[in-house]
Structure 1
Amino acid sequence: MALRTLTDLDDKKFNGKRVFVRVDFNVSVSNGTVGEDYRIRMTIPTIEYLTKRGAKVILASHLGRPDGRDDDYTLAPVAKRLSEIVGSRPGIKVRFAHDCVGQPVEDEIGRMNNGDILLLENLRFYKEEEANDLKFCKKLASLADIYVNDAFSTSHRKHASTYGMAKLVDARLAGFNMRKEVEYLSMMKDNPIKPFKVVVGGVKIKDKIGALEHLLLKADKVIIGGAAAYTFLKAKGFKTGKSLIDNEHLPWVSKALASYGDKIMLPTDHVAAISPADTSITMVKGDIPDGMAGFDIGSETIERYSTEVSGTNGAGMIFWNGPMGMFEVRAFANGTVNIAKSMALAYWRGAKTLIGGGDTLEAMKKSGVAENEVSHVSTGGGATLRYLAGDEMPGVSVLNGQ
């Protein structure tokens, strides 16, 4: 999908203009301090491009799911972290507005100099944001001369800031992060580099069915781990003990195995225990005993999966979504750590490697793999899977006038 981006507009058109940038600063905040700031850092190229061209940059985001105005969900700590990242450039200020609409916000924007940055307060302090309320859309649109969406991860939703207000602004552009996301994911969805391998973990199969239906057609191998693997194994007739099973989607899994069984790789051994808190773990091959559950892939499976992922000989494309086990617990992290390191090795050997989903990024970091050791880390979780499934992406399509 070709998108009209920042570079498609003449530089002079940004000078002195109010550029409203929808970003995704939905990051973890604890005791007023931002944790993982990857989503903030990914917007810096767009922000700096605009400030250098004299735009008045108005940033807007949601944070969490507040029920009305709630200071526990304020974006003030994010504004502080953004200031630290942007650094002190002469004459450039990062300001924080204590609301996202209304006269005080308009006054704050009126005081901005060219190149200044203003972060608005949490959009979800207003229920009208998620409701795509027309009056709220008009209030947001009145703040902008140019609209930019750099928040791919929220673009599967028809909210006021991702869709409704954009329709009311004539000049609509994609930011650099949005462009990169769409380029990489479109390549994977429509014309992946061969051999194309998909690694799927995590818990919920339901959220991944749409993407899997599309990817199973294109992929040369689909490697299944995490709790998702136990539903596949149960469908094949294995005993899975107390392991998490998605019984509702067993019929879909059975159908996928019947159609694509030659492509699908499943664990042959497991790290099992009575509960996540159980210190006496057992390596189990084949069936999982009654009373026990699988919490990670076993050593034999790790070796098989790692060889498949890293053995690309400088060719192909690999997509990883979802950890291989309960990686938050050290005893069940080995599978995930090895897949992360295998992804890095494949990248250094020349393969295109893509990682999607917040859990997967966290797993990668915990494994000691840096962001620059993969080709692309998607900021979208649900949005990434929805795009790969071919679902409607209102925040993307509206940029092309739809």
Structure 2
Amino acid sequence: MKLKGLTCAHEYAVAVSNRYDVLGALEDPVELWDTFKRETLQAAKECIGERPRSKRGFVSPETLEKIEESRAARLAGNQDQHRALSRRTGNLLGRDKERYARSLTEYVEGHLNANDLRPAYRALKKLRSKSPSRASAIRTADGRLVSDMDGQMARWAEYFGQLFTVDPPTEQLHTTGLQAVNFAPEKTQAMVVSRSPTAGPAVEGRLRFGGVPLPLQEAVKVLGVEVDRELRFDGHIKHIAKKASHRVSALRRVARFLDRGGKLLLYKAQIRPYLEYAALSWMSCAASHTRRLDSIQRRALRLVDAADPPDPPDPPALFEPVSPLDSLEHRRDVAALVVFHKAQVQGVPHLAGLRQPPRVATRSTRTVLTSSDAVEVPRSRASQHQRTFVGRVSRMWNIFTAAVPHIQEMNTQSVKLAANRWRLLKPTPLRLVIL
């Protein structure tokens, strides 16, 4: 709101322009971005100020005060006081949540008695859990179905007990003269991959590393990619969307000082890599999450295509339209086809696990005869598996090889160009036929 005033806007523009003088002497892109971000935010803090965040929800002022005291104790290094305040804060949060739930139930009861259903159902949506636990029946070792919680806990304990029981070594490995690597238990993460809510409690406290029990995690991060216990990437998508959104906000603050080419270059170099890092590993996520990333790119492109300020006038060359960018799905599909070509045709050793067996034709048709490079599509019973790398790229590969001849003689660059031209002819989003 303050930027709508001419005085504040002029002061902010002057402060940003003065702080950008130090950017000319920097050459490292990482240092350039960090300096650019720090100076821009500092200028905004000095000229505009910070908006105080409103405290909402069921947390009482007393609990908020204890939270601040606990945080201050942690920053001061007082561990004993921090632990005591953390326990006290947990108790207060539980009390506040119970009081909040009780007030909602009384609210629902009152509206139900008055036959006023809309506010009652709205309050019920607040009361119910966002992720209700779903427990299905499992089989015991002799094939019997177990549906009760105690029986499932006992079965999971029996299963993991057999899984982690190994025979003692028959001989000792001599490590004299070898440089052994020491692993720290506090830097080791453990996670049970299962959708059953009883799998985690059955293993809790039984995994040890160097005599130290390993706590089970709901999600682990490997090389910057976060995956949860259900092999989903929802948390990772939310994280990269938040990081990219912050950078788009930084781009918006300086968009008025850059021409279209500069804004587009800044987006390609500093924002789009966040949206595409390890995309082939998390391409199985739901369409709602990929649409969230697409909205961030559209938001950035609106800044790129925004009209430049008329005063002072820019040279005509700066007003030339910027070529539209390919969609994120387009770029993911092209990258998937190129990687699959490396695995299937070039035979790259470290991609051997991605190779698929050739498709065996059950009848002789013109379609089969013109696609000798087609592969067997893995059978999918779940929509999530159809969106995985192998499930999606095998279907795309069969369509791509039928349309592009001589795929065996192409190198990586030729396949990349052919895949890009082929993908431009297809709609976005691309719906593949489930074979």
TM-score (normalised: structure 1)? 0.20
The structure whose residues are more often strand, as a share, is 1
TM-score (normalised: structure 2)? 0.19
